[in-house]
Structure 1
Amino acid sequence: MNALTALQPQLSLSLADWLADLAVDALIDEADLSPKPGLVDRRGSGAHTDLHLGLMHASALALWPSFKAMAEAAQQRGEVDQQLRDEVGRLGRDGEAEMLRVTDGVNTHRGAIWALGLLSAAAALESDALAPAQVALRAARLALFNDRAAPVAADSHGAQVCRLYGVHGAREEAQLGFPAVVQQALPQLARSRAAGVGEQSARLDALLAIMTQLADTCVLYRAGMAGLTCMQSGARAVLAAGGCASLDGRRLLRELERDMLRLRASPGGAADLLAATLFLDRLQHGLPAQLGSL
């Protein structure tokens, strides 16, 4: 150790700190990724009129304490059971309330709180088993419990769409172990990286892989089944043409964006799952050296 290193503060993170950092970083990286069809990114607000990049950043940062608290609750409980599910639900509602306070009532990350909250808790339960499929399976087991304290409220847009079109939503996606992430996005991310296309293009390809299969309730609510078909077929076309790094792929991506803007449809469900993808991708590399006592 040289003199300069000796003078530097030795940071020590708890597991819950680290998981909350990963979750917030995943949300910010998802928001910044550009160009995303119909979604907020560095270029603008996409198909939204009430969202912008600064608001997405502020919302993500405001959720850090909630993600940390969910991870801590899982560590303290030590197993997947009804009590942990109730506690994660309570903390998630607290996080949603803070999100709405920061955004002045705009729903920026409700779906991401659900996905990343479950995954943060699942990772904290077994920090020596952080492969994506392992974490997703623990999250699925937790999601299968009902949240006994959840308030009875009017149907969300997602719930209305699921009933109308007979599709599964964010709850069922989690209960199935996040197949859009584990089976679609993460393999595509690995393939694109292996092809040397660059990290931003690889992440865009991962988003498109989610969009090829997901019954995105955000798109269904705004544009119906015709909008969902447009999203899925457009995403498949980009990947079939070589992905976002290819000339043909970029042209088709621009066409997909024009369609999403014309339909005023934003694939917000796919964006939430991309954040989950980035979280699990970083998680699988294991714990950092500066992690303190668990």
Structure 2
Amino acid sequence: MTGNHGTRSLTRCREDEALARAAVDALTGQLALVPKPGLPDPRDLAARATRRDHRLLRWSAKALTPGLAAMAAAARRTGEPTPQLRAELGSIGRCTEHSVGLAGGGHRGALWALGLLVAAAALDPGAGAREVATGAKRIAAHRDRGAPRRPSRGSSVSAKYGAAGARGEAKAGFPHVRRALDALEAARTAGADEGQARLDALLTVMSTLQDTELLHTAGPLGLRHVQAGAREVLAAGGTATRPGRDALAALDAELHARAWSPRGSAGLLAGALFLDALPVGPRG
């Protein structure tokens, strides 16, 4: 019995680590896309373009792995999307933020989305992408009782402008993650290569998301301007076409010049890439 228990524990530990690695792979896959309008990408060596060194962001992304594995383990151990699980995930998330900060910082929005999605995937092994998003919604419905009472910048901006923000996105079951998944499928079906499909998915999120980072730096008019620019790229045929790439280059140049960064969209794309990579199989 002890041997069987130890084997099961080792298997579960490996499953938790595999989910964490898949989430970090999704994040680094998002970071590798180029050109990303207003967002860090491989052109940002020495932080010339977005003030965030791409190499440092790739390094700090790896610091998410232990925390994400711990979130998966907590979900698997709890077995249900309970208030207790939500509180434990919040505590792990704050510790992980600290670790990421020591490694160079960044990825706060991605950690929020990926943490909930990893936990939901651990709760329902073998579930499809949209089922996992629904599971994350059930977890996010509970209040994090251990969260600091002082409002974050994102929550303050959400309250000021009536935007859903990261919490609202999660409580709604990550609708923009689901839209990104649809965009990925549509672009691949239309013949786009993987990089083009992922950029089109990012632009799909940007076209409608009430990004609190953009609201903070650019205000409502700036946000609408960025949304319209993303729609123009997609209307031109997306990044698989010459007109679409030309429109993307123009949007990219403008956002870099204005120092406007749609970071919320980047984190949600990472969530979509994580769900897209999940193997769907028998439950159990």
Structure 1 length-normalised TM: 0.88
Rounded Cα–Cα distance in structure 2 between residues aligned with 1:25 and 1:224: 32
Which amino acid is the alignment partner of residue 19 of structure 1? L
**Unaligned stretches of 5+ residues in structure 2:** 1-10
1:287 and 1:64, CA in 2 relative to 1: closer, same or farther beyond 3 A?
Answer: farther
**Residue equivalent to 1:280:** 275
Equivalences, count: 271
Aligned with residue 154 of structure 2, among 136, 158, 173 = 158
- Matching of residues 180-259 of structure 1 within 5 Å: 180-182=176-178, 184-259=179-254
Q: Which residue does the alignment assign to 1:48?
A: 50
Instruction: Give the aligned partner of residue 24 of structure 1.
Output: 24
Distance 2:169 2:188 in 1: 26
Deviation at 1:259, TM superposition (A): 2.0
Whether contact under 8 Å (1:132, 1:281) holds in the other structure is yes
Q: Are 2:135 and 1:133 equivalent residues in the alignment?
A: no
- Residues 53-76 of structure 1, C-alpha deviation per residue, up to 9 Å, x if partnerless? 111111110110000000001111
Superposition deviation, residue 47 in structure 1: 5.6
Q: What is the aligned partner in structure 1 of residue 165 from structure 2?
A: 169
Superimposed CA distance per residue, residues 189-239 of structure 1 (whole angstroms, 9 cap, x where no aligned partner): 001001111000000000000001100111111111121111110111111
The match for 2:121 is 123
The separation in 1 between residues aligned to 2:209 and 2:258, in whole angstroms, is: 18
TM-score, normalization by structure 2: 0.91
- Letter in structure 1 aligned against 2:272: T
Unaligned segments of structure 1, at least 5 residues: 1-11, 289-293
Which one has a larger percent helix, Structure 1 or Structure 2?
2
Cα deviations across residues 114-172 of structure 1 (Å, max 9, x unaligned)? 1100000000001032x11100111011001011111222x322122112211110001
Identical columns (%): 47
Counterpart Cα distance in 1 of 2:202 and 2:84: 34
Structure 1 counterpart SS, 2:43: coil
RMSD of Structure 2 on Structure 1 (CA): 1.7
1:286 deviates by 2.6
Asked if 1 retains the 8 angstrom alpha-carbon contact of 2:176 and 2:205, the reply is yes
